[in-house]
Amino acid sequence: MTTTFSVPEFSIYPAIDLRNGYVVRLKHGDPNHQTIFSRDPSAIAYHWLEKGARWLHVINLDGAFGNTDSSNRKALDQILKVTQIYGASVQFGGGLRTEKAISTVLDLGVSRVVLGTVIVKQPIIVAQALMRWGSEYIVAGLDAHHGKLMVEGWQTEAGFSATELAKKYRNEGLKWAIFTDISRDGVKAGINLEGTIALAKESGLAVIAAGGIKNQDDVRKIKECGLAGAIIGQALYDGSVDLVDVLC
């Protein structure tokens, strides 16, 4: 039986993408098109939290790509120490493909984990995670490129649509999902609002919009449409969006 959830409060999630311990942004999710914004992730966390953010969206890109991620794990620990000072929360994903990996980051103090590849490759892990920790701790990361769902660091086609998977896991108790249009990510091409709204309506999930936000008007539209939140990356880092203004 499908579970009924209350409508969540809209939240803004500044993105902190980690690679080799640095804060970076990728164009279209391509590891060969990378810009380094900071070599001090904790300073970036402090910067967004000082401006009023209550959530940070932290992604371990090395983990997502299947590479050694010890530097990113150290950076996550530093970020969590900063968020504890502000009473803020971290949503974390990238390379979490076992129940032990999920448990480890939740024990560190992460408030919500983003699962991507395992929702396609190992659904039993998702089911177990939902049973063990509950719907508030688990997010499905649904990343699409020209309508095709991608996994393994956005490198492999999943063979399912985002809506198919969203409906499946909704019936198993999933509440949260992030929908990212990879073709727009990191280049401020404008949010795929139509696709994000459709996913939310068809699945009944609380959907957080990501990928391509270019200005404050994009954020306003996302909020007005009843979506659960917005993850903002490139537009915050280059100043196109003022975090203080969109948090108001």
Catalytic residue ranges:
17, 143
CB-neighbour burial class of residue 176 (10 A; exposed 0-12, middle 13-18, buried 19+)? buried
Q: Return phi, psi of residue 154, to 5°.
A: 70, 20
Instruction: Report which of 190, 199, 188 is spatially closest to residue 147, judged by C-alpha positions.
Output: 199
Q: Which of 55, 59, 47 is nearest to 11 (CA)?
A: 55
Burial class, 233, CB count within 10 angstroms (exposed 0-12 / middle 13-18 / buried 19+) = buried
Three-state DSSP class for 203?
Answer: helix
Angle at 204 between CA 200 and CA 206, to 5 degrees: 65
Separation of alpha carbons 221 and 170, rounded Å? 25
CB 170 within 8 A of CB 200: no
